[in-house]
Structures are given as C-alpha cells and as structure tokens.
Structure 1
Amino acid sequence: MADTALPFDDFRDLVNLVPGPDEAAVAAVRARDRDLTKPAGALGRMEAIVEWLAAWQGKAPPAVDRPLVAVFAANHGVTAQGVSAFPASVTRAMVENFAAGGAAINQICAASDIGLKVFELALDHPTPDISLEDAFDEAGCAATMAFGMEALAGQPDLLCLGEMGIGNTTVAAALFLALFGGEAADWVGPGTGVGGAALANKVAVVERAVARLDGRLSDPLEILRRLGGREIAAMAGAILAARHQKVPVVVDGFVTTAAAAVLWAANPAALDHCLFAHVSAEPAHARALAAMGKVPLLDLGMRLGEGTGAALAAGLVRIAAKTHAGMATFTQAGVAGKLD
C-alpha cells in the first residue's frame, strides 16, 4: 500500500465537506421524464435511479459506460478467536480464484459487461486481533483509506464495492455495535456459517472488542481506526473519493455497509451518492440499513460478498439510464400526450 501525505484528521474534513448534488442535472432528467412515452411514474424506482445517477454524475442524461466492481481483500487477526468456519488462508485462495476468473463475481461481471479489479491489502500481515488491541494507528488507517481511493484511478462512471476477508463479518458487527449501540447479539450473524457455541463465541469476541472502547468513543473515524479491517477502511476511502470525484457508488452487503456506516455516522449526507444494492441474508444487515434510513434495491437472499449484489444492482442502474436516454418523447413518437 502506498503512503499518503494526508494526515488522519484531514479525512474528517473530507467527510464533512462533501459536495452536493447537481440540481440542474436532476431538473433536466425530470423534464425529459415528463415528456417520455409512458404515464408519469410508471417506471417506479427506475425513474428515481436515473435522477440519483444524474445528481451525482453531474450530467443529463446520465450514462453508465465504465462501471467497475472494486473488491478489497484483507485478513484479520481476530480469526485467531475462532470466529469463522474457514481459516484465514481462504482469503488468499479466493483472491487467486478471482484472478483465475473462477468466482461468482467474475461470472456476474462478465455477463453484465462490468469491469472488475481486486485490491489486495497485505494479506500476509493481518490487522491485530481487535478483541485485544487496536486495528491501526492513525497513520496506518489514513494510508489504508488513501489506498482505497485508488479505485477511482481508472475514472469509472459507477463504482461498485465488494470485499473478501475471512473474519470480516466479526469486524463489521463490532463496528455496527460501536456506531449504533444495542447488544452484540443484535449485530452478530453466522457469516461463513458458524452456529451454536461458535456463534456464541463470536458474540463474546465482538463484546470484548467494543468493550475496549470503554463506551466513551463518539468519533466514527476513531472507531474505524480501532475496530476496522483494512478492506473496510479502504472501502470508506473509496466511497469518500467517489463523492469528491462525482462518481456514484453502489454498496454491496453487510461488510461493505459497515464501511459506509462509518461515514454516515460522521455525516449522514456523506452517503447521498450511494445506492444500497441489496439486503443480505446476514441477519443484521437489514437492521443496519434501517438505522441509516436506507432502502436496498434488491432482496435475493444473498450473503456471498465479493460485490455480487452490487454488480447485479449495477445492471439495473445501467438499464435505467439507457431506458431514460433511449425512449422517445410523445412528440418524437407521434403519440398524443396526456391532457393538461
């Protein structure tokens, strides 16, 4: 990972000083939509997606020509506590599977003509066990967030975020607990498939991790520094960079939402350029979305990660944009419009 000249405190400024939507682009989309050959509102949420896309791309009509799924992969010292059904070595094996084209996300991206890039974050050097010590120092957290910003280097016009990391549902659960409160059991789910005593152990590990904060921590970026994994910090950086570079973001599932939640807790407006792709089968994902007032696009019972839900949602975003841009107006089609 490259070092960054940005101090940790500067990321707080980037979160709090996010640019707003392009209202002129939204107005242009609405004006065109009123003249398209369909009843007003007939395409439902697809119409709202076009407005959202225009607002954050800053153009009308919006288009999705260079979508990218960015998958961030990292390892976690907390796996030593027996929180996952799989060993940490699976993270690297899956990164190799991505490279070989054998994962689910490869097939979805190929079928939908979406770019895919995998960002490997020091897999041989897991973050410390968060039940015992902090995940990062300030410089390390800032550098990791800056690394995530590199996902924008190829200038995608829609960024879809995904992750891979054995143990990261434990990390995400700890983040949600610290950010939103409640009980550890509210946020802990089976992840890769743990249940029974193993699930109870996972709950206890999350409780210990958050208890280290002594209940006094209110700064979301400091919570990220102390509890977050590298892929989560990198995704937070990517979301932030996308906002400042006018790139809409599609957020995937439970772990990816944890990265977004850190920014939301610091400034709820910081996620206005984000679309939440789906509600995961991981039980607490719906709770997290509800806490932020976010309505997911899909509900397919998925819990794979890898950006799979985000890639599927990106297909609908692209279709919405093409439908809006390609439909004829009443005048063009020679169809009588509605009476005033």
Structure 2
Amino acid sequence: MTAPFATLDEFRRTLEDAPGPDMETLAAANDRNGQLTKPPGALGRLEDLAIWYAGWRGQAQPQLTAPQVLIFAGNHGVCAQGVSAFPSEVTVQMVANFKAGGAAINQLSKAFGATMNVYALDLDMPTQDFTAAPAMSEAEVIQALITGWNAVDPASDLVVTGEMGIGNTTSAAAVAAAVLGGAAEDWVGRGTGVDDAGLQRKIDVVARGLALHDVADPLQALRCLGGRELAAMAGAIAAARHHSIPVILDGFICSAAAAVLEKAHAGALDHCVAGHLSAEGAHQRLLDGIEKAPLLSLGLRLGEGSGAALAIGVLKGAVACHSGMATFAEAGVADG
C-alpha cells in the first residue's frame, strides 16, 4: 500500500477527503437493535458501540474477527533534559521484549485474538531536543506518518495503536498543549514515575518548547514537538479511516497523537473510540478535548496499547450481542 501524501499539506487533504460511515447501514443496524430480545437500552453503551461499528464496516450484522494491534517505538532527544526516570536504552530493550512475546501487550493481543506488529522507528537516531530545534524535519515526520499508514492491514476489521518511547509523555504533553491550549503544567504528568524535581523539569521543558515553536497548525505541532511514534500512530489512525476500519485509542500518548488529527480536520476521529482512561493526570482533559468517553477506567498507565487492547473485549462483546441475538420475531417472544 502506498500512502497518498508526500507533504503535510497533502496529508491534511487526505484527512479532509476521508470517507464517513455508511448511513444506510447505520439505519439498518439501529433498526435491528430495536428488535433484539431485550428492553430498549438495556445493553447501554454496548448498543451504541455495535451500531457505530456496523456503520463503519458497512454491515448491519457485522463480525469482529481480525483485530490488529500496532506498536510504534521512537526515541526522543528531549530526554537529554532529564525528563524521564529511565534511560533511552529501555526503548530498544522493550522493543526486543515485544518481539519476543514477553510484554503485557503481547498477552492482551493474544487474549483477544489480535495480530500484533511492532515498528521501531530509527531508534538509533532520536528526534531533536525540541527545546532547541524542531523535533523533526518535514521529511522525517512524513516518513513516520507513512510508516504508520502502511502498517495498517486493509483486511483487518479493527485497529489498536500503541507506543513505546522513553520521554514520550513529555512530547505528548507538549503536543496536547499546542493543539488543545492551556499551560504546560495543565498537561505534564509523572509519566514513568519522575519525582517532584523531575516533574518540574518536564513542565519547564514543555513550556520552553511551546515558546520556541510556531505551533498554531496542529500538523506543525506534531512535527516540532512530537516524536516518530506519535506521528506513526497518527498515520495509522488516518489509514484506518481510509479503509473504513474502526480504531480503539489507547492512553495519554496515543490520544495526543489523535488530537492532532481532530484539530487538523474536525471529525477526523469519528471512526475512533477511547479504550480507557489512564492514570496519567491529564488524560481526562485530553479525552474531553477530543470529545471521547473512555470504555474502561482501571488505573492503567503502561502504554503499549494495553488499555485499548483490553477494550477489544468490550467491543467484541457489543458486536456479538448485536449480530448474534435473536429478534423478538425470531425468538417468538412478545415485544411489549
């Protein structure tokens, strides 16, 4: 698959030209939901999820059998500022763990029948320290977007995007502040567990990055303040929309990448749901900014796509009930 863009302006047009849900299928799925053997609304959000999923898949009685989990890893020059409790070498080590099947995301992907793919993005060449220069050139951010775009399997019927990158809560906080507004301290959290001094360093680093760069354009915010793994997640989310594949968003970092798309083009995340509310302090604020209500809230703060992968089970349950339940007429049950 070849990405249909070679510049950020072309990527923006790709977002603008993306397809929407099948409205006839939405209507048919909604009609079916009203005939199933249950009181109206008895399955709560599961009903809305199933109808939403049906509309994007173009099937009034869809099946969810081929989920894909995509993990993107990148390293960040801003780590030189002492913003993480771990060294950048851990990114490489965790990629090896993913590939060996030893991480939490491997177990969750397996548990819910998802194919998992891992992409390490130039780990030996971290982004620039965004307090001194743009994190990426346009060519670099485009390459990361294309990697994410090409990672999506058009035959999949659900996409989960996750990440690994020491320092990327700092990058995500800077991107979130740029695209959603507010001060650095509104967005910066403890990430992997920095102490009070480390937290203050992160706030100072994000404030300096915001002051240095012109980030009024969300795509420029991604380039100047983001990381390769954030850009790759954005590219994958956009590609999934191109193929009418629904997406479950993961935690704070994934949501920051997604927010770039929503602010670049309103409605760009209509094919997405938020998998969970993470324990990273500003995640709720970020979800509010992109108008997504989380499916789960379990205090997770691991990243890796773990919360979103766990939410695959919720969506599978919603689709199974919608497509597999009998209607009142089929079951011979009196309707009201």
Q: Partner residue of 1:252? A: 250
Distance 2:200 2:187 in 1: 12
Which residue identity does 2:244 align to in structure 1?
K
Work out the percentage of aligned pairs sharing the same amino acid: 53
Q: CA deviation at 1:108?
A: 1.1
Distance 1:157 1:230 in 2: 25
Which residue identity does 1:224 align to in structure 2?
L
The answer to whether the 8 A contact 1:8-1:139 is kept is no
* TM-score, normalised by the number of residues in structure 1: 0.96
Answering whether residue 88 of structure 2 is matched by residue 94 of structure 1, we say no
Q: CA deviation at 1:3?
A: 9.6
Distance 2:56 2:151 in 1: 17
Q: Partner residue of 1:220? A: 218
Distance 2:113 2:227 in 1: 30
Residues 50-79 of structure 1: CA distance to partner in whole angstroms, max 9, x if unpaired? 111012112221221100110111111111
Misfit runs of 4+, over 6 Å: 2-5
Which residue identity does 1:78 align to in structure 2?
V
Q: Partner residue of 2:280? A: 282
Q: Partner residue of 1:266? A: 264
Q: CA deviation at 1:331?
A: 1.6
Which residue identity does 2:164 align to in structure 1?
M
Which residue identity does 2:205 align to in structure 1?
V
Q: Partner residue of 1:203? A: 203
Q: Partner residue of 2:193? A: 193
Q: Partner residue of 2:28? A: 28
The answer to whether the 8 A contact 2:215-2:224 is kept is no
Q: Partner residue of 1:297? A: 295
SS at match of 1:270: coil
- Report matched runs for 1:102-113 at 5 Å: 102-113=102-113
The answer to whether the 8 A contact 2:179-2:260 is kept is yes
Residues 177-207 of structure 1: CA distance to partner in whole angstroms, max 9, x if unpaired? 1112211111000000002111101110111
The answer to whether the 8 A contact 2:71-2:304 is kept is yes
What is the alpha-carbon root mean square deviation over aligned residues? 1.4
Distance 1:210 1:218 in 2: 10
Residues 6-31 of structure 1: CA distance to partner in whole angstroms, max 9, x if unpaired? 22220010122222211111111111
Distance 2:304 2:49 in 1: 23
Distance 2:154 2:86 in 1: 34
Q: Partner residue of 2:241? A: 243
SS at match of 1:241: helix
Distance 2:49 2:4 in 1: 34
Q: CA deviation at 1:217?
A: 3.4
Q: How many residues align?
A: 335
* TM-score, normalised by the number of residues in structure 2: 0.97
SS at match of 1:91: helix
Distance 1:207 1:329 in 2: 56
Structure 1: runs of 5+ lacking an equivalent: none
Which residue identity does 2:225 align to in structure 1?
L
Q: Partner residue of 1:131? A: 131
SS at match of 2:86: coil
Greater shift after overlay, 148-157 or 126-135? 148-157
Answering whether residue 71 of structure 2 is matched by residue 71 of structure 1, we say yes
Greater shift after overlay, 16-25 or 67-76? 16-25
Residues 115-172 of structure 1: CA distance to partner in whole angstroms, max 9, x if unpaired? 1111111111111111111111112211210110112135211001110000000000
Answering whether residue 301 of structure 2 is matched by residue 310 of structure 1, we say no
Greater shift after overlay, 133-142 or 164-173? 133-142
Distance 2:266 2:284 in 1: 18
Distance 2:323 2:291 in 1: 29
Q: Partner residue of 2:82? A: 82
Which residue identity does 2:71 align to in structure 1?
V
Residues 247-286 of structure 1: CA distance to partner in whole angstroms, max 9, x if unpaired? 0011000000011000111122000000110111000000
Q: CA deviation at 1:323?
A: 1.1
